[in-house]
Amino acid sequence: LPRLTAGLADLHAAGYQVMLRNSGGLAVVADPGVLNVSLFLPATRERYPITAAYQLMVDYVQAVWPQLNITTGEITRSYCPGDYDLSIAGRKIAGMSQRRTAEALVIMLYVSVDGDQMARSQLIQRFYQVSLAGHHDARFPDVDPQVMTTVADALAAPTDTTATQARFIAILAQHGTVDTTSLPLVTEEPEFQAHLNQAYQQMQRRQQRLHH
């Protein structure tokens, strides 16, 4: 982006913090109405090819909202468009990305549960307009705020991220045991803390790229 610094300043002026993430490729918005869900799988690439891993998350989301006709396919003028965008009647509600190692993978989902999706889309639309400064670059979407929506709007009923999180956990519990005690214990172990500290330092170095 030729005027990235100006685009970032515009986001800061709108009250947003900016972080360069380690998966996916384009800008997304995270606020109290957006839920992030990650599935970590100890599995080889052969067991879960890219499409199969994405489909696992798709099946999960469809089970959370069986009353909604959720489809997959790129919504080209959404922000961060991709082949596995999740949409309802042509309007995107969620996007996904993956991160892989030789023996494990994580599928990451953001879903716009409620809140002002029009304002989110307009924010990213303006970010690209400011950052591109009149240049055309096919790598970045020409965001149309009309092609995105929220789950609450699609349901025509109130819902929020707390209720949605509970629903995701309930669906997962139908396919196995939900253990909410082991992970907090593991995260206190010295080996985990060492890995966490290393990953945090890598994240800090990644953020510096935004300002150079």
Residues recognised as catalytic: 80
Tokens of 113: 């549960």
Q: Tell me the C-alpha distance between 87 and 68, whole Å.
A: 10
Q: Find the angle CA(68)-CA(140)-CA(153) to the nearest 5 degrees.
A: 25
Q: Tell me the C-alpha distance between 119 and 140, whole Å.
A: 19
Q: Tell me the C-alpha distance between 14 and 173, whole Å.
A: 39
Long-range contacts of 165-168 (CB under 8 A, 24+ apart): 165/35, 167/64, 168/37, 168/60, 168/64
Q: Tell me the C-alpha distance between 52 and 58, whole Å.
A: 10
Q: Tell me the C-alpha distance between 92 and 28, whole Å.
A: 12
Tokens of 13: 């002026």
Instruction: Give the 3-state secondary structure percentages of the chain, helix then strand then coil, rounded to 5.
Output: 40, 15, 40
